[in-house]
Amino acid sequence: MIETRLTRQFGLSVPVVLAPMARVAGGRLAAAVSRAGGLGLIGGGYCDAAWIAEQMDLLRDHAGRAPFGVGLITWALDAVPEVLGQVLAQGPQAVFLSFGDPRPHADAIHAAGARLICQVQDMTGARQALAAGADVIVAQGAEAGGHGAGHGRGRATMTLVPEVVDLVAAERPEVLVLAAGGITDGRGLAAALMLGADGVVCGTRFWAAAEALVPEGQARAALAVDGDATFRSSLVDVARGLDWPAPYDLRGMRNAFSAQWEGRLEALAADPAARAAWAEAAANGDAGIAAPIVGEGIGLIRDAPGAAQIMARMAQEAAQRLGHGARPVGT
């Protein structure tokens, strides 16, 4: 067991939170992470109430009384705020909001007895999260897979995390800080704790887990590449017709489709046949067209075991690293 403020407050044995990857972090994966001593979060993403309800049922079937939470994309929630009430009725320990202003939803989350986790990509976002009354702030570096601050505005995990830690210590020291972006093993967990974080949020490592909702073809392709194979772009969002607000874009893998269309996004938006081909490939797991959405940490991953094995490895390696005489801040 690695004890931090995160483990004490949420009743965990490992200071690891599952990133709520939209339609990848389903009920089985969230349950597996929670049963293994972390905090499992369902990736509610674009606020599809029926899908969230289905995954919540799966989580309850597999997680027992283990703590859990739900992640939602904030700008999508703004359009269907009633989804938050449906989520809160399930009694999550936490609601994880990303990519937008959390303040309109904070009171409802706290009134339901849940903790508000806010993911941020810069110091402006961190200050906004503090103003919203966040209980936990996730400092996400641009190394992360999926969406984050793009268009040259992304911060690196190594510098963003301690800067957020310092801000929180000065203004609201009771707030927890978690590190995200490029953390895939015990070395990353130990490094984050040494930066002053209370724990980590891991996406790409659990994207490549047996319980993740990832097509076999995409998983196989991702496990064969290194971190150089990823890039940031709005290409995937254009291909699937999602109008993401600035400044966010997405990190995923390069492939033949990206080579054809990167730099020609307006043309892609105007080509229904190309977008239909992408959608069909995504449904079939064809990584040559619909590339895996993973972060730079994919280069450190070569297998896809169960989440419990991933958690055990990470905890053991971090404990060994920290046992060399270093002690994380704030424990």
Catalytic residue among 62, 105, 147, 151: 147
Which H or E element spans position 233?
strand 230-233
pLDDT in tens, 91-113: 999 999 999 999 999 999 999 99
Query: Known catalytic residue: 147?
Result: yes
pLDDT the model gives residue 66:
87
**Interval 51-79: pLDDT, tens:** 999 999 999 888 778 899 999 999 999 99
User: Look-up: residue for tokens 């801000």?
Assistant: 167
pTM: 0.95
Q: Delimit the CATH 3.20.20.70 region(s) of the chain.
A: 5-213+301-324
Q: Which token pair is 40? A: 């499992």
E strands, 21-163, in order: 40-45, 68-73, 94-98, 115-120, 136-140, 146-149
Q: For residues 228-254, give the mean pLDDT.
A: 94
For residues 288 and 10, is the Cβ–Cβ distance under 8 A?
A: no
CATH topology of domain 5-213+301-324: TIM Barrel (3.20.20)
Helices marked H in the chain: 5-10, 27-35, 49-63, 74-79, 82-88, 103-111, 123-132, 157-171, 186-194, 204-207, 216-222, 235-239, 256-261, 265-269, 272-284, 307-322
